[in-house]
């Protein structure tokens, strides 16, 4: 008599979880689309690297982490920040360079940071976050904190020296770090086959004795499953794990990029694998998503973005008097 309610509850939980994944991916997409409009109107400035097309990676991986885990990102980190739970108002305010931003307006698009949710920050240096993640993982191991650090980077970072040094040390010391390579095939603008003698990046990580896997980065459910398995192995003391997440950015490297190194046919082919559309199709087929509920979700996200933009525009800039704050850490007594 008790099996049916229990089974029903499990199905409901699974449905809610998948709908949550859809909301996260859609939020990232619509947020960035709004940023494109704002940037084009010069209402936000600086550099802007979009995550459009890659939403399944951040959403799937971060769904597998616990609240006490850490996240180290790249300069394409809006998706990581939103998926990790940084308030949209704080992210948008940072885009505007306002004091209410998650980095007090000092970092902008490429340097989002929020210690309260474990987002240790974006990094404008290609591969710069990889040794940082290893350092965090080493500290966690030395202090027996039981935390996992997820480190995101692109295929271009795999050509940097710190990639090899960091993977070697993480493997040697069996550190609790999850390396997440967002392989979008082009780094800044060079096809991976013209940059790497061996394009199988998971195999390269394996050469350091790290358990590795290649994953369809356009499938949020596949990403989450692979990430959960990897995190379980790390928490069990198995040392670092490496995920090569095969994905594709639908837009250029940045708003300054003319994107002449890719042909339109290739981009169109990848867009047919849009991770948001794929999940929508799956949820509809399972009877868990209707046109009405999807429209409500889109409307709700749109209103949230509109409020975030209004709040960011109304927020103050940091006063000139605070210019030297946070440049150096305050000296503390021993």
Q: What is the pLDDT of residues 153-181, one digit of tens each?
A: 999 999 999 999 999 999 999 999 999 99
Q: Answer whether 216's CB lies under 8 Å from 233's CB.
A: no
pLDDT of residue 2: 39
Which band of pLDDT confidence, cut at 50, 70 and 90, is reported for residue 330?
Answer: low
Q: What band does 326 get if pLDDT is binned at 50, 70 and 90?
A: confident
Residue in this structure with the two tokens 């949230």, named with its chain if needed: 304
Q: What are phi and psi of 286, to 5 degrees?
A: -85, -5
Mean pLDDT of 274-295: 96
Return the residue matching tokens 């940045």: 254
- Residue 107 in tokens: 């970092």
Close Cβ partners of 276 (under 8 Å, ≥ 6 residues apart):
22, 25, 26, 29, 55
Q: For residue 156, give the DSSP letter.
A: G
> What ranges do the domains of the chain cover?
17-322
Tell me the whole-structure pTM to 2 decimals.
0.92
> Which of 114, 106, 105 has the alpha carbon at shortest distance from 77?
114
| pLDDT of 332 above 70 | no
Q: With bands split at pLDDT 50, 70 and 90, how would you rate the model's confidence at 13?
A: confident
pLDDT at 4: 44
> With helix as H, strand as E and coil as C, how does 256-314 read?
CCCCCCCCHHHHHHHHCCCHHHHHHHHHHHCCCCCHHHHHHHHHHHHHHHHHHHHHHHH
Fold assignment, 17-322: Rossmann fold (3.40.50)
Q: How far apart are CA 128 and CA 154, in angstroms?
A: 11
Give the residue carrying structure tokens 């990848």: 270
pLDDT attached to residue 1: 38
Locate all alpha helices (DSSP H) within 106-160, ordered by sequence: 129-142
């Amino acid at each position: 008599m008790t099996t049916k309610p229990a089974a029903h509850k499990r199905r409901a939980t699974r449905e809610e979880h998948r709908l949550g994944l859809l909301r996260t991916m859609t939020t990232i997409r619509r947020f960035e689309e709004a940023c494109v409009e704002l940037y084009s109107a010069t209402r936000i400035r600086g550099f802007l690297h979009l995550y459009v097309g890659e939403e399944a990676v951040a959403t799937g991986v971060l769904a597998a982490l616990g609240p006490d885990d850490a996240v180290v990102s790249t300069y394409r980190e809006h998706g990581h920040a939103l998926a990790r739970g940084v308030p949209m108002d704080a992210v948008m305010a940072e885009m505007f360079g306002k004091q209410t931003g998650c980095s007090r307006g000092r970092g902008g698009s490429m340097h989002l940071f929020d210690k309260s949710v474990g987002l240790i920050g974006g990094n404008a240096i290609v591969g710069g976050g990889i040794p940082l993640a290893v350092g965090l993982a080493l500290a966690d191991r030395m202090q027996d904190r039981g935390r996992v650090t997820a480190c995101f980077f692109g295929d271009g970072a795999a050509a940097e020296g710190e990639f090899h040094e960091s993977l070697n040390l993480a493997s040697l010391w069996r550190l609790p770090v999850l390396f997440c390579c967002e392989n979008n095939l082009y780094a800044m603008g060079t096809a991976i086959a013209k940059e790497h003698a061996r394009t199988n990046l998971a195999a390269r990580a394996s050469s350091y004795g790290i358990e590795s896997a290649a994953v369809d980065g356009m499938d949020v459910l596949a990403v989450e499953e692979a990430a959960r398995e990897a995190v379980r192995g790390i928490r069990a003391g198995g040392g670092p794990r490496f995920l090569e997440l095969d994905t594709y950015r639908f837009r250029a490297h940045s708003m300054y990029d003319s994107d002449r190194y890719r042909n339109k046919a290739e981009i169109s082919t990848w867009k047919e694998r849009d991770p948001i559309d794929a999940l929508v199709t799956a949820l509809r087929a399972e009877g868990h998503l209707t046109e009405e509920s999807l429209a409500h979700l889109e409307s709700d996200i749109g209103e949230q973005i509109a409020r975030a933009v209004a709040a960011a525009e109304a927020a103050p800039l940091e006063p000139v008097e605070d210019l030297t704050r946070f440049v150096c850490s305050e000296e503390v007594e021993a």
